[in-house]
Amino acid sequence: MTLSARHLSFLLLPTLAAAQRVVEPANRAASLVRSDSVITLRYGGGVLFTGRVTASGARPDVRVSVDTTGGVVTQIIKWTARGAGGRVVVTGTVHASGEGFAAEAEPAQDARPIVRHAVGGADNRRNRAVYDRRGDWLLSVDEPAQTVITHDASGDANTFTVTASGGEVALRFRPRFYQKHRGLAQYQPWTYQPWGGSVAGWSSWYAFFDKVTEADVHRTADVLGEVLRPFGYTYLQIDDGYQQNPIGMPDHWLNANAKFPSGLAALRRYISDRGLEPGIWTNVSFAQRDSAEAHPQWFVKDGNGRPAYGNWVGYVMDGSNPATIASLVRPVYDSLAHMGWTYFKLDALRHLRYEGYNSFAEYFAGKGLDRERVYRGFVEQVRGMVGRDHYLLACWGIRPELIGLVDGVRVGDDGFGYGSFAQYNSFNNVVWRNDPDHIELRRDDRYRATTLTSLTGSALMLTDPPEVYRTDRVEAAKRAAPVLFTRPGQLYDVDPSRSSLLSEASRPVSGAGPRPFDADQRLIVPLYQLDVARPFEQWTVLARTGGEESAIAFSDLGLPSATDYVAFEFWTKRSLGVVRDTLRAGPVDATYQVQVFCLRRRVDHPQLLATNRHVTCGGADLVEVAWRDRTLHGTSETVAGDAYVLYLTEPTGHRLVSVDADGAEVVGHAMVDGVRVVRLLSRAGGRVRWSVRYE
Which pLDDT tens digit goes with each residue over 75-112?
A: 999 999 998 889 999 999 999 999 999 999 999 998 89
Is 672 found in the same domain as 578?
Answer: yes
Which residue has better confidence, 549 or 404?
Answer: 404
Looking at residue 8, what is its pLDDT? 31
User: Cα–Cα distance between 610 and 595 in angstroms, integer?
Assistant: 14
DSSP 8-state assignment for residue 484: P
Q: Which of 19-28, 411-420, 479-488 has the lowest mean pLDDT?
A: 19-28
Is 568 found in the same domain as 489?
Answer: no
Residue 3 pLDDT level (bands cut at 50, 70, 90): very low
Give me the chain's average pLDDT, please. Answer: 95
Backbone φ and ψ of 210, nearest 5° = -85, 5
Residue 7 pLDDT level (bands cut at 50, 70, 90): very low
Do residues 608 and 647 lie in contact, with contact meaning Cβ atoms separated by under 8 Å? Answer: yes
Looking at residue 72, what is its pLDDT? 98
Residue 272 pLDDT level (bands cut at 50, 70, 90): very high
User: Cα–Cα distance between 29 and 76 in angstroms, integer?
Assistant: 9
Share of the chain above pLDDT 70, in %: 97
Let me know if residue 444 belongs to a domain: yes
| 22 pLDDT higher than 80 | no
* Cβ neighbours around 662 below 10 Å, total: 10
Let me know if residue 2 belongs to a domain: no
Looking at residue 83, what is its pLDDT? 83
User: Cα–Cα distance between 300 and 311 in angstroms, integer?
Assistant: 14
Looking at residue 58, what is its pLDDT? 85
Backbone φ and ψ of 452, nearest 5° = -70, -35
- Bridge partners of 660, per DSSP, are 691
Which of 459, 481, 504 is where one domain is finished?
504
Count the helices and strands in the chain (H runs, E runs). Answer: 15, 39
Looking at residue 35, what is its pLDDT? 86
Is 383 found in the same domain as 256?
Answer: yes
User: Cα–Cα distance between 541 and 254 in angstroms, integer?
Assistant: 45
Q: Helix, strand or coil for residue 164?
A: strand
Share of the chain above pLDDT 90, in %: 93
Is 177 found in the same domain as 205?
Answer: no
Tell me the pLDDT tens digit for each residue of 206-228: 999 999 999 999 999 999 999 99
| 14 pLDDT higher than 80 | no
Let me know if residue 5 belongs to a domain: no
Looking at residue 515, what is its pLDDT? 95
Looking at residue 550, what is its pLDDT? 87
Do residues 675 and 575 lie in contact, with contact meaning Cβ atoms separated by under 8 Å? Answer: yes
Which of 187, 213, 235 is where one domain is finished?
187
Q: Helix 330-339 and helix 371-386: axis angle, to 10°?
A: 30
| 334 pLDDT higher than 70 | yes
Region 676-690 average pLDDT: 98
- Which one-letter amino acid corresponds to residue 350? R
Q: Helix 214-223 and helix 264-273: axis angle, to 10°?
A: 10
Let me know if residue 375 belongs to a domain: yes
Do residues 459 and 484 lie in contact, with contact meaning Cβ atoms separated by under 8 Å? Answer: no
Looking at residue 169, what is its pLDDT? 98
Is 552 found in the same domain as 492?
Answer: no
Q: What distance separates the 2 farthest-apart alpha carbons in the chain?
A: 89
Is 169 found in the same domain as 140?
Answer: yes
| 528 pLDDT higher than 50 | yes
| 489 pLDDT higher than 70 | yes
Q: How many structural domains are present in the chain?
A: 3
Contacts within 8 Å (CB) and 24+ apart, 657-663: 657/693, 657/694, 657/695, 658/692, 658/693, 659/690, 659/691, 659/692, 659/693, 660/690, 660/691, 660/693, 661/688, 661/689, 661/690, 661/691, 662/688, 662/689, 662/690, 663/638, 663/687, 663/688, 663/689
Looking at residue 9, what is its pLDDT? 30
| 532 pLDDT higher than 60 | yes
**Domain harbouring 245, CATH code:** 3.20.20.70
User: Cα–Cα distance between 397 and 192 in angstroms, integer?
Assistant: 21
Is 556 found in the same domain as 496?
Answer: no
Is 229 found in the same domain as 174?
Answer: no
| 156 pLDDT higher than 90 | no
10 Å CB burial of residue 612 (0-12, 13-18, 19+) is: buried
Residues 6+ apart with CB under 8 A from 141: 128, 129, 147, 162, 164, 169, 170, 171, 172
Let me know if residue 3 belongs to a domain: no
* CA geometry: angle 111, 115, 120, nearest 5 deg: 115
Backbone φ and ψ of 140, nearest 5° = -135, 165
Residue 1 pLDDT level (bands cut at 50, 70, 90): very low
Residues 6+ apart with CB under 8 A from 27: 71, 73, 175, 176, 180
User: Cα–Cα distance between 581 and 599 in angstroms, integer?
Assistant: 12
- Which one-letter amino acid corresponds to residue 286? F
- Which one-letter amino acid corresponds to residue 650? E
Looking at residue 382, what is its pLDDT? 98
Strand ranges for 44-176 from DSSP E:
46-55, 61-67, 74-80, 88-97, 100-103, 115-119, 129-132, 137-141, 146-154, 157-166, 168-174
Residue 155 pLDDT level (bands cut at 50, 70, 90): low
Let me know if residue 315 belongs to a domain: yes
Let me know if residue 8 belongs to a domain: no
Do residues 5 and 482 lie in contact, with contact meaning Cβ atoms separated by under 8 Å? Answer: yes
Is 222 found in the same domain as 133?
Answer: no
What stretch of H or E contains 293?
A: helix 289-294
Backbone φ and ψ of 326, nearest 5° = -65, -30
Is 319 found in the same domain as 239?
Answer: yes
Give a three-class secondary structure readout of 198-252.
CCEEEECHHHHHHHCCHHHHHHHHHHHHHHHHHHCCCEEEECCCCCCCCCCCHHH
Looking at residue 4, what is its pLDDT? 37
Which residue has better confidence, 273 or 153?
Answer: 273
Q: Which domain holds residue 311?
A: 200-504
Is 453 found in the same domain as 341?
Answer: yes
What stretch of H or E contains 599?
A: strand 595-601
10 Å CB burial of residue 677 (0-12, 13-18, 19+) is: middle
Is 497 found in the same domain as 563?
Answer: no
Residues 6+ apart with CB under 8 A from 668: 678, 679
Which of 486, 504, 522 is where one domain is finished?
504
Helices (H), 352-445: 361-366, 371-386, 420-423
User: Cα–Cα distance between 329 and 12 in angstroms, integer?
Assistant: 32
Looking at residue 581, what is its pLDDT? 97
Looking at residue 238, what is its pLDDT? 98
Let me know if residue 510 belongs to a domain: no
Residue 5 pLDDT level (bands cut at 50, 70, 90): very low
